[in-house]
Amino acid sequence: MTARASHQPPGRYRFRHLARMEWIKLRSLRSTWLTLALAVIAPAGIALATGGSNTTSGGMFVSNTLVGMLIGVLLTGVAGVLAMTSEYTSGTISATFAAAPRRLRVLAAKAAVIGAAALITGEAEAILSFFAGGMTLHHGITAPALSQPGVLRAIVLTGASLSLTGLFGLGLGAIIRHTAAAITVVVGIVFVGGTFIGQSDFAIRPYLPLYIVSHSLGATGPACLPGMASCWLSPWSGLGLLAGYAAIAMLLGGLILAGRDA
């Protein structure tokens, strides 16, 4: 019996092939689109509802309208977790790694797709929230223009934070592998821990993800106010620290993914 030669086109599988695989995986799940819709609509709805609570023009308007973005932060964090853990719970991971045994490349492709999808969602959400908040202002109060100092930066950076929490979730998913446990850790670190520790320890507060998003990224004013116990991080430092958290989670996730049996 003669052996059969495989059909082998030149080259080998690359990052772009894996990114395409991950994009098909992401878009073919109904939950992706539900999450996306919720992530965009809910914060805008909150911005509509809170618009009327602005008592002065400018000032806190931007951070007020962006407060609903914390929902988006939670949703993309969970979406990032699920992108990894749902493969383990369903058994898809063995099909994925059999198709592409270079696991770090698979993780990078996942990160690119999740990161980009969360970035687009986050920016759409931030812009929509900004304009939604302006629609329900009381008579005589005006929303700041996009051209005013810090306004566009606050919108863009807050939107970008969703991408970073998505990657943070993805990294944690690769480390923990179990959906419930990984989601608990994300919610615990970002929300519960952030709130409790933040209430009691003002020195740590500026470094917690929740406060970075609400007080550093969304800020249009100075990071330090007279009489404050500690200053918030500047917008760019805040973004940098969030990126650092995401990078640490991804790095550990990558190490574990490469070293452990699938």
Partner 1 sequence: MIEVCGLTKRYGSTVAVDRLSFDVPPGAVTGFLGLNGSGKSTTMRMILGLDAPDAGHARIGGQAYRQLRWPLREAGGLLESRAFHPGRSARDHLAALAASNAIRQSRVDEVLELVGLQAVARKRAGKFSLGMAQRLGIAAALLGDPAVLLLDEPVNGLDAEGIRWIRGLLRSLAAEGRAVLVSSHLISEMALMADRLVVIGKGRLLADTTAAELSGRAPSLEEAFLQITGDSAQYQARNLS
Report the interface residues with partner 1, using CB under 8 A. Answer: 1-9, 11-13, 17-18, 20-22, 24-25, 28-31, 86-87, 90-92, 94-102, 261-262
Closer Cβ to partner 1, 87 or 125, answer by number? 87
- Alpha-carbon distance 163 to 169, whole Å? 10
Closer Cβ to partner 1, 18 or 246, answer by number? 18
Closer Cβ to partner 1, 27 or 138, answer by number? 27
CB 67 within 8 A of CB 156: no
- Alpha-carbon distance 108 to 27, whole Å? 18
For residue 128, give both structure tokens.
């929509």
Q: How far is the CB of 117 from partner 1 (least distance, A)?
A: 15
Closer Cβ to partner 1, 197 or 256, answer by number? 256
Q: How far is the CB of 250 from partner 1 (least distance, A)?
A: 20
The residues near 221 (Cβ < 8 Å, ≥ 6 apart) are 59, 150
Q: How far is the CB of 184 from partner 1 (least distance, A)?
A: 21
- Alpha-carbon distance 157 to 76, whole Å? 15
User: Helix 235-259 crosses helix 151-176 at what angle (to 10 degrees)?
Assistant: 20
What's the maximum distance between 2 C-alpha atoms anywhere in the chain?
A: 88
Q: How far is the CB of 23 from partner 1 (least distance, A)?
A: 8
Closer Cβ to partner 1, 32 or 234, answer by number? 32
Q: How far is the CB of 75 from partner 1 (least distance, A)?
A: 17
